[in-house]
Amino acid sequence: MSFAKVFTRSIWGLHAPLIEVEVHVSQGLPSLTIVGLPEIAVKESKDRVRSAILNSGFSFPTKRLTINLAPADLPKDGTRLDLPIAIGILVATKQIEPKGLEQYEFCGELALDGQLRSVNSVLTLGIECQQDQHQLIIPLCNTPEATQVPHLKVFGATNLKQVCEHLTQTKCLTQQVACSNQSKVYPQPDLADVKGQLRPKRALEIAAAGGHCILFRGPPGTGKTLLASRLPSILPCLTAQEALEVARIYSVANQPYIFGQRPFRDVHHTSSGVALVGGGTRPKPGEITLAHLGTLFLDELPEFDRKVLEVLRQPLESKKITISRAAHQVTFPANFQLIAAMNPCPCGYAFHQDNKCQCTPQAIRRYQNKISGPLLDRIDLHIDVPPLTASDLQSTVPLETSAQVKQRVEDAYQYQIARQGCTNQALSPQQLEQHAPLDTQTKNMLSLAQQRLDLSARAYHRILRVARTIADLEQSKNIQSHHLSEALSYRSSM
């Protein structure tokens, strides 16, 4: 009887728990049994592995094979277990005698001729592999993703035979290194493309500096979508750790990601609640998680189903989403910045200076009531975007570029991080008392505004956070009356 143990990993949420592939060869009728909660793709691996082993110049044992995927209570899915199963069979049958097998983890799908095919979620596997001080052997085409993990030893192979030669030190694989183009900066839309709209652009700068949510409201064609699409070009740069955190999410979701750039998710109004928050039998990230440390843009906000919008209320506060199933829970991060745009009425021309609107007051009220008060209360900046005149559109006066605005945003952002370790939108009420103190004049101003505007406690604190960001843009240590006045002006327009 022979036994072998090979390490690999499964995917559960954003984590990659270690899997031990145990192979036992015993006397009996030829068979291959896989136990340990394998799903269909894993069960089918027996046929791929058999052909791959034979076509790689090895023999497949005519004995009883039992393969256990431990821990047995964790479901295993995908084709990434093909390679570790094949290695386990070859080691258990003593066709190869590897050196230092326990220091490696294996991941890869096998073709019938023994070639290795790419698999998803390799970055997540690599992060936890490095934490356990293991080395990773994967398909060569997956190595650019895995080498993003600092200090991880990655080896890429094109077929099963190369992996066996590396393990027996007959012909070692080359250790892969990170590509230099991973930090390449790709061009983004520039804020200088937006003519006029000085107040909305000022609000966009404040939102970028403090991480605040913002709602643009105005008739069609005034530049709401144009403004929102320019937000990523003025946001602060991600740190290396934050970029790796975002890349991990996209790795699990099997979606492309430009390493180092903040996500911008433009969600269509026909999207369901599950598409936003995530879900499925094995929960996958939704749009709010894919927008983590970036922007979630909801255009034509009232056209979304009201129940879909309501699912945003809890993650906007907690910055995470927990998906519960009968036997387990998965928590995904959801620290996103919400940018929304809407028309004031079904036709879009309510309150227009030329009085073009033909909607009844009841229709306007019904349209605006599609957005609940609690959701609006969670949006920091409410901005009216008025129509532009012909002179505004024809103006040739040079406008501020995204690079100029981004420099001010970066300065304010670093000022916040140095002072409190987080952006202003993440300040708790206790931290606000410490980092956003008010003098007697500003206290009286805010008290009067709370009475006249009937502000909730949440709105009160959000106004303080916005005022703190405005002060930070001026590198002011304390909130002054004009900072608070500007913050209040962005709240009173709704």
CA–CA separation, 264 and 208 (whole Å) = 13
Taking residues 316-324, report their average pLDDT. 93
Q: With 60 as the cut, is the pLDDT of residue 1 above it?
A: no
CA–CA separation, 304 and 153 (whole Å) = 46
Say what percent of the chain tops pLDDT 70: 97
What's the length of the chain?
A: 494
Instruction: Tell me which amino acid residue 429 is.
Output: P
Judge contact between 336 and 209, C-beta under 8 A: no
Taking residues 38-47, report their average pLDDT. 91
Q: With 70 as the cut, is the pLDDT of residue 185 above it?
A: no
Taking residues 222-247, report their average pLDDT. 94
Please, what is the Cα angle at 493 between 490 and 494, to 5 degrees? 115
pLDDT in tens, 376-394: 999 999 999 998 888 888 8
Q: What's the confidence (pLDDT) of residue 494?
A: 46
35-68 b/e with 16+ CB inside 10 Å = b?
Answer: ebebeebbeebbebbbebbebbebebbebbbbbb
Judge contact between 259 and 293, C-beta under 8 A: no
pLDDT in tens, 435-465: 999 999 999 999 999 888 888 999 999 999 9
pLDDT in tens, 131-167: 999 999 999 999 999 999 999 999 999 999 999 999 9
Which pTM does this prediction carry? 0.91
> How many CB atoms lie under 10 A from the CB of residue 325?
12
CA–CA separation, 333 and 101 (whole Å) = 35
Q: What's the confidence (pLDDT) of residue 101?
A: 94
Nearest to 63 by CA among 94, 32, 22: 32
Higher pLDDT, 280 or 476: 476
Nearest to 472 by CA among 390, 397, 399, 415: 415
Q: What's the confidence (pLDDT) of residue 186?
A: 67
Residue 436's H or E segment, with its range, is none
Q: What's the confidence (pLDDT) of residue 422?
A: 93
pLDDT in tens, 321-373: 999 877 778 999 999 999 999 998 998 888 776 667 888 889 988 998 899 99
Instruction: Tell me which amino acid residue 173 is.
Output: L
Q: With 70 as the cut, is the pLDDT of residue 122 above it?
A: yes
3-class SS of residue 415? helix
Higher pLDDT, 178 or 14: 14
On average, the pLDDT of the chain sits at 92
Task: Report the chain's terminal Cα–Cα distance, integer Å.
Answer: 76
Please, what is the Cα angle at 337 between 232 and 334, to 5 degrees? 120
Q: With 60 as the cut, is the pLDDT of residue 173 above it?
A: yes
Q: What's the confidence (pLDDT) of residue 292?
A: 97
Higher pLDDT, 284 or 354: 284
